[in-house]
Structure 1
């Protein structure tokens, strides 16, 4: 018995000794791991992922994937990313691919019930296509210099054209840096044998703030700057390409004269007239919905009172114009000025607006589609 205990005691000591002498696990000079599209990793958090990408898409669909680059102990200089064309067995190519670096932003107050701690999280998408040397490093996608253990998340957007043949397409992501061996990440896209419609059957309206976007880029949101207008158009088009309709397409909205007549030939620098811009959004980009740029103080100060007749004339002609270019079923009021009523007074105010819009005569007995977003649990009101 004693000899047996001595045997096991010596065995345990031997194992522990060998473990203590084992070399540390190798840390690659450059690591590239594919992760899920909803996963997030902090700037220096160890990344757990896979060594390949497999995505699936219908024709006429965008599908994305992401991966994280991590520098080794010596860091990495001039990190670059490329993706080869996606090819099928017959050599046919899908080349509608866009690469973005995900820039970190400091989150001091997480959203309610968020599992993520207050720290830096990837959020901003910086297009790799914009690689001008005039762009500051913080806002340039690539190249980037990384310190030891630092992460760079990358988002890739793949567009599958409507005429694409179904089947499997393969390509390779290549990540390189000065003095380091390139790392490859295989990508496989399976294109399904059906096509999404050009316009989403699900009507959406996503709030956007063109004034805030212009401010970030150093513009004043006046509508008179071609560069400013094209910037907002690029944001709108990006959303529409992904089946999301922006709220308040300002460059496709008329102004009113003193009598309430809308000006559909209003010109936006760098873009065109209101009517031309409307055709772009509704016919070329297939927006699922359009919200009238009309509110309780625009284009008239008192639309429920002394300006009622002028405001209703404006909306009658505006709604007819929208129906002609988009179809009446896609035209809605902007809900922001009667958003989520939560008192008796607020509901009464919302009803006044309903009466205002119902009194506007439209062809074929149509009514202006008036939307109010209602909060839950207001049964007693």
Structure 2
């Protein structure tokens, strides 16, 4: 069922969030830390209190009251929540794994932005089971030691958090006023409520309120943060120096000197930090430390290149580049050190009817390469595999500024599209992946096939990499026994190719998936007509399309036309009314009969 939001409601929401004064809260110091057990002791009666939670986007008061209590001491910030709930039996409590999808349960959230740049903020969540999650922004790879506990009572549940200041990595820029927000996800009534007004998401640091009155030794905390950073950087530089030792090639002398110089400068920063007493003095040392830390990725890449060059045989080392075989499961990122092994042979194994990929990494460890070409010969053995059964492509990259939820990768350049091959330039110190896909025909004779992958820069001699393919004496079935589904989003197809090519490109993407034994999710649907309580369904288009895709290996499809809430494996628990439930039930029963 499609829900239409009146323009007036959107306009009212905009006016509310635009005109609303961001709330302020003055923190209260405590001489004794609270016991973090979830039960709110009398100590919290003297805390700063935040209330008046409003529904996200609309500004309407939440029906389920939430109050937040704030205390602090020299070590930690203490936050407590009192969450009223008139349907305690319906609260959602499923997630038990630390750093799991806690927001899918009834939970409370704390956002802290202590730095002048509010785009850098911390996010703490705890659900009614006491399961915790912490993020830096939306990045769950970040972690720290903090405590939380929950207590459930009659008509309410309460939560307590203790967030150590030292774990936040506070710098000399941080003072006694922070931006912050407190939020709650309440599932029995479907309410997302917030202390400071947000338009579309809790993750809106520009909409955070203010916590003031934090009287702490911020210079001491900045010294602690910087001392930890110096120790880590010194250790990393030491590892790089050890990797180049004890045998040092003449071409590596300059690199070794740069690493030793960085360590000496870092020692001076450490010595200066010992004498620093004010935030300004610490800030001077922070600036020099950051400059040295920014050099570390370059030094790491240079050391990786030097170690790889050592592994290249002498006569080939003079070429200034190498070919490395890498698993297709490895994402070779151009902005990260590459520590591959030079390849002498590219070996592949496949059954008849199988697509087998191989990744070859070109590494310019000595000189830049211009207009690099590459080609793959036919594979010859008991028969010949060539033509359209050999596909050589260039791996392209996309810049990821914010990793996906649950990703443990750093932002930056990620290999993603397989581009038609064109000659490319490769600056010194960089890498580029070639992607070879071999499709073994279903009637290929088993045995060993041989060929050559040739890489030919315009300004360097070419390199030939032998390719050996062993074809096994059995055929991969066209339809896999393991059901799978992959979604091709029509929205993105239209955005990239235009509406006129929607069906054509959808068909191509679906067939590409099926050729690799992957099933597209939404390939066809019946025409559903609902008049009152009656349902009529025309299956002619669906039958024609689904039969075609089944013949090409489709293993399943999504029955999205039933409009069931909580789809994608979710719980069916929120129909708008009884009539809607009956309509969905009839559509499902008719679909079951037809199939």
Task: Please state which band the TM-score falls in when normalised by the shorter chain.
Answer: 0.5 to 0.7
Q: Please name the residue that 1:37 is paired with.
A: 328
Query: 1:237: how far off?
Result: 1.0
Kept in 2, the 8 Å contact 1:29–1:72? The answer is yes
Cα shift readout 1:311-355 (whole Å, capped 9, x = no counterpart)? xxxxxxxxxxxxxxxxxxxxxxxx885234368558x99x95898
Work out the CA distance in 2 between the residues paired with 1:354 and 1:361. Answer: 11
Q: RMSD between aligned alpha carbons?
A: 3.4
Matched, 1:253 2:502: no
User: 1:355–1:46: structure 2 CA closer, same or farther, 3 Å change rule?
Assistant: closer
Q: Please name the residue that 1:204 is paired with.
A: 484
Kept in 1, the 8 Å contact 2:319–2:460? The answer is no
Match of 2:403 among 94, 110, 116: 110
User: 1:359–1:255: structure 2 CA closer, same or farther, 3 Å change rule?
Assistant: closer
Work out the CA distance in 2 between the residues paired with 1:85 and 1:336. Answer: 53
Q: Please name the residue that 1:28 is paired with.
A: 319
Alignment map for 1:362-373 (pairs within 5 Å) = none
Match of 2:557 among 290, 295, 313: 290
For structure 1, the residue ranges without an aligned partner over 5 or more in a row are: 1-17, 129-140, 266-273, 297-334, 370-381
Q: Please name the residue that 2:506 is paired with.
A: 232
Cα shift readout 1:23-70 (whole Å, capped 9, x = no counterpart)? 556563332111112122221533413412112111111111111112
Q: Please name the residue that 2:567 is paired with.
A: 338
Q: Please name the residue that 1:55 is paired with.
A: 348
Match of 1:242 among 497, 513, 516: 516
Alignment map for 1:1-381 (pairs within 5 Å) = 22=250, 24=252, 26=317, 28-44=319-335, 45-51=337-343, 52-88=345-381, 90-95=382-387, 96-111=389-404, 114=407, 116-126=409-419, 128=420, 141-217=421-497, 219-220=498-499, 225=500, 227-249=501-523, 252-256=524-528, 260-262=536-538, 264=540, 277-283=545-551, 285-296=552-563, 338-341=567-570, 345=574, 352=581, 356=585, 360=589
User: 1:278–1:368: structure 2 CA closer, same or farther, 3 Å change rule?
Assistant: closer
Higher Rg: 2
Query: 1:240: how far off?
Result: 0.5
Structure with bigger RCO (C-alpha 8 Å, 6+ apart): 1
User: 1:146–1:353: structure 2 CA closer, same or farther, 3 Å change rule?
Assistant: farther
Work out the CA distance in 1 between the residues paired with 2:490 and 2:384. Answer: 40
Kept in 2, the 8 Å contact 1:55–1:189? The answer is yes
Work out the CA distance in 1 between the residues paired with 2:474 and 2:249. Answer: 58
User: 1:49–1:357: structure 2 CA closer, same or farther, 3 Å change rule?
Assistant: farther
Q: Which moved more, 1:114-123 or 1:193-202?
A: 114-123
Q: Please name the residue that 1:315 is paired with.
A: none
TM-score (norm 2): 0.42
Kept in 2, the 8 Å contact 1:28–1:72? The answer is no
Kept in 1, the 8 Å contact 2:331–2:415? The answer is yes
Cα shift readout 1:174-201 (whole Å, capped 9, x = no counterpart)? 1112121111221111111111112111
Work out the CA distance in 1 between the residues paired with 2:593 and 2:475. Answer: 33
Work out the CA distance in 2 between the residues paired with 1:160 and 1:106. Answer: 34
User: 1:43–1:20: structure 2 CA closer, same or farther, 3 Å change rule?
Assistant: closer
Work out the CA distance in 2 between the residues paired with 1:110 and 1:29. Answer: 34
Secondary structure of the 1:213 match is: helix
Count of aligned pairs between the two proteins: 278
Work out the CA distance in 2 between the residues paired with 1:228 and 1:158. Answer: 29
User: 1:42–1:145: structure 2 CA closer, same or farther, 3 Å change rule?
Assistant: same
User: 1:368–1:345: structure 2 CA closer, same or farther, 3 Å change rule?
Assistant: farther
User: 1:110–1:28: structure 2 CA closer, same or farther, 3 Å change rule?
Assistant: farther
User: 1:368–1:353: structure 2 CA closer, same or farther, 3 Å change rule?
Assistant: farther
